[in-house]
Structure 1
Amino acid sequence: MLSRSTWRCGGGYNVERAKEGVEQRVVVVMGATGTGKSKLSVQLSSIFGGEVINSDKIQVYRGLDVTTNKMPVVDRRGVPHHLLGELDPSTGELPPAGFRSLASHLIGDISARGRIPVVAGGSNSFIHALLSNRFDPLTDPFGGRWRPVKEGLRYRCCLIWVHVEAAVLAEQLDRRVDEMVGEGMVEELERYFAVEGESERHPGLGKAIGVPEFRSYFTGRGRRTSAALEAALSAIKANTRWLAEAQVRKIDKLAAMGWPLRRVDATAAVAARLAGVPQAAPWRSDVADPSVSAVAQFLAEEEEEAGRRRRRASRTSVVLNS
């Protein structure tokens, strides 16, 4: 069994929401790109009555659905998703402070309707901005001369880290790029550059891996040769692997800050997929079942705590009115 201290993220709860009898409990599914975060978020939301809040800083924008690897609607299994392809890229780049504001509003709304916010991602700078009590929009919590500083969090939350061993994940990411090509990524980028040209009018969406790598291919004066195409795809693969490594380093830093992360290992499930054998069993035993158990315990403990608070409030009211 997991102890309450393992799962209660430090820090309090929103007083105004608590006064309304609505507890803001948040489930967060994090990890490097390609580990299965989106899949797990949908599974948990389906079981516990959740709604997903996307925290990928590129997927928040409309457009380039294949290139940015947005989860197809059919794979969302009817689970409501927020901030996924909703923002107009022409409005400018969404900063962490902007995400904090948007996602906080969504958490309040989802909680008020008696459902569970499930934050999925993605961009650890966005997750840190949303959850940290020490958030400073002028400071990069992961950069510079970094040192671990213990932090309290704004919500009562359950943090799940989906991990895949580096070598297996690298192979998975390379395979995913090949699959995205089959799904029309190159054609999608061609349409994008036909509109954008050589200019960079959309600094947020324009940072999606795939856009810089194909810019010269579609807008340069050179010929669109097979060698140039392969070079662009190789760059996408290399930069995606680099992104995954950077994401893991940031998650390690969040753990060093005192964030109580529960790590589940999806290595066997991803390896099974790469080998072309069924992955349902290792995914269920190594990822889904432990995550479901953790969230169930977290929510049960929160209900117990909410009951204690209500009883204390009732006793206080009796004393004050006597």
Structure 2
Amino acid sequence: MNPLIAVVGATGTGKSKLAVDLASRFNGEIINGDAMQMYRGLPIITNQIPIEERNGIPHHLLSCIDLDAEAWRVGLFKREALRIIEDIRARGKVPIIVGGTHYYTQAVLFKEQLVGEGVDDESEREQLTEFSSTSKKWPILDSSPEVLLEKLREVDPVMAARWHPRDGRKIRRSLEIYFQTGRRASDIYKEQFSQKRKAMDQEEGLLRFENTLVFWVHAEKEVLNARLDARVDDMVKQGLMTEAEKMSDYLREKASQGIEVDQTRGVWVSIGFKELAPYFKAIRDGEASEKEIEDLKRNSLELIRIATRQYGTSQVKWIRNKLWKALTEAGETRRLYLLDSSNVSDWSKCIAGPSEEIVQLMQQNKPTPDPKSLSQLAAAEFGAKEAQAQKREQTDPIGRCYTCDVCQKTMATEDQWHIHLNSHQHKRGLKSASKRTQRDEYFRKKELEAKGIQALETEPGS
């Protein structure tokens, strides 16, 4: 039983260490699944695992493209990763994919998914590659979200009811699908959802590889945030400033050659460079005082800490929502194991030991433990997801938005809707609405009484 192992989780939780541990234990090789770590020459900013910590394990797709290269689109990554997986297995080894760009990993784990579902913005744009020029062909796509939503209500009311009125990107995406294919996105989604259900009924499976294990290295939020703040300080000691300055000098050199680098894509959006860019600019301009320069540096580093914490939160959100949804659709949530790395001193007990035991059981074709049994954190996370699944309608692949007429707010999911109904804001809104109704009723009665008196006064003989 030769498994495909995937290691996911927020930045700073220990994904790379676990991948090396498993590769060392089970004769494996590692495939990098982090878009930023594919760039060479920036090991600190992109948080690449140091060579001395790799234990001699081969790492594929790590530090393999130049600074001027665009980040790989998910289709290219999937093709290369699948080719490497085949090669690793042909040599009798275990492929282990690890990284924080979770839509890369998810594209490898699962067969084709719903258009616009289960993948992030980048891969959504790729699924219909011609869409890069659609605004030229259909100028309405450059309109405001209000105009786009009005048009979508006209051509695809089901999808229009699905998206939040201010979510212009998703509204635009649904219109793009309609214009490009001549079919409503809602019909496409339903058709693909039906195909998935049929595949499940026929036991074909939605996972690309039968023997798949996904380890989610997770930590309590407060613990992780403190760890990430400390890691930024360590990165500074290791040479973060030098790498960021190297990137800044690269841009200046390109500018002197008349070459404009798109800083909205690729490695230029990595955390650690864009936050420090104003600092290096101030140094080059030479107009700021020493104190202003130092303050700018301190503020830039704080922005890096904030961005790192936010990125970690978004990675966890992806796992809880999109990865869990894909596993649920495939009927394979039992493949996901949460490993609690809140206390790194218990690494062997909480991470290495359980993960090795699970892999070994799968290789021996023996039953693996209940994912909720590994820790209290795992029980809490998965218990909450299972409770949500019981309440949610499983047969609707599209869903809809919920609008509160009292509070004039729109919620994108049923869970958000129920949270809103129980919120203090909604309850205050109900009270205010009730008072307004009572007030309006009072004045209406007064108005009717006044009209009645006036009518009596105008009658003959009054």
Deviation (angstroms), 1:289: 0.2
Deviation (angstroms), 1:92: 2.0
- Give the equivalent residue in structure 2 for 1:263: 338
| Amino acid across the alignment from 2:338 | R
- Give the equivalent residue in structure 2 for 1:83: 61
Aligned pairs (5 A) from 1:229-244: 229-244=297-312
8 Å CA contact 2:5–2:212 kept in 1: the answer is yes
Deviations 1:240-291 (A, max 9, x none): 000000000110121233243111101122xxxxxxxxx2xx1100111000
Q: Call closer, same or farther: CA 1:101–1:291 in 2, change over 3 Å.
A: same
- Larger fraction in helix: 2
Matches of 1:58 and 1:205, distance apart in 2: 6
8 Å CA contact 1:61–1:205 kept in 2: the answer is yes
Deviation (angstroms), 1:25: 2.8
User: Does 2:101 align with 1:123?
Assistant: yes
Matches of 1:81 and 1:142, distance apart in 2: 25
| Amino acid across the alignment from 2:23 | S
Taking every aligned residue pair, what percent have the same amino acid on both sides?
33
Higher relative contact order (CA 8 A, sep 6+): 1
User: What secondary structure, in the 3-state scheme, does the structure 2 residue paired with 1:41 have?
Assistant: helix
- Give the equivalent residue in structure 2 for 1:19: none
Deviations 1:214-263 (A, max 9, x none): 11221354637110001110010000000000000110121233243111
8 Å CA contact 2:3–2:362 kept in 1: the answer is no
State TM-score, norm by structure 1.
0.77
- Give the equivalent residue in structure 2 for 1:183: 238
Structure number with larger C-alpha Rg: 2
Matches of 1:57 and 1:287, distance apart in 2: 25
- Give the equivalent residue in structure 2 for 1:213: 275
Deviation (angstroms), 1:140: 6.0
Deviations 1:156-200 (A, max 9, x none): 211111110000000000000000000010111112211213753
Q: CA RMSD in A?
A: 2.4
8 Å CA contact 1:45–1:51 kept in 2: the answer is yes
Deviations 1:127-161 (A, max 9, x none): 111112124676663579599x7882101211111
| Amino acid across the alignment from 2:17 | K
Deviation (angstroms), 1:201: 4.6
State TM-score, norm by structure 2.
0.55
Structure 2 portions without partners, runs of 5+: 122-161, 164-169, 171-188, 197-204, 367-462
Matches of 2:248 and 2:215, distance apart in 1: 38
User: What secondary structure, in the 3-state scheme, does the structure 2 residue paired with 1:213 have?
Assistant: coil
Matches of 2:62 and 2:223, distance apart in 1: 27
Structure 1 portions without partners, runs of 5+: 1-22, 270-278, 303-322
Matches of 1:216 and 1:83, distance apart in 2: 31
Matches of 2:115 and 2:90, distance apart in 1: 27
8 Å CA contact 2:29–2:93 kept in 1: the answer is yes
- Give the equivalent residue in structure 2 for 1:49: 27
Matches of 2:97 and 2:277, distance apart in 1: 32
User: What secondary structure, in the 3-state scheme, does the structure 2 residue paired with 1:263 have?
Assistant: strand
User: Does 2:4 align with 1:26?
Assistant: yes
Matches of 1:140 and 1:192, distance apart in 2: 33
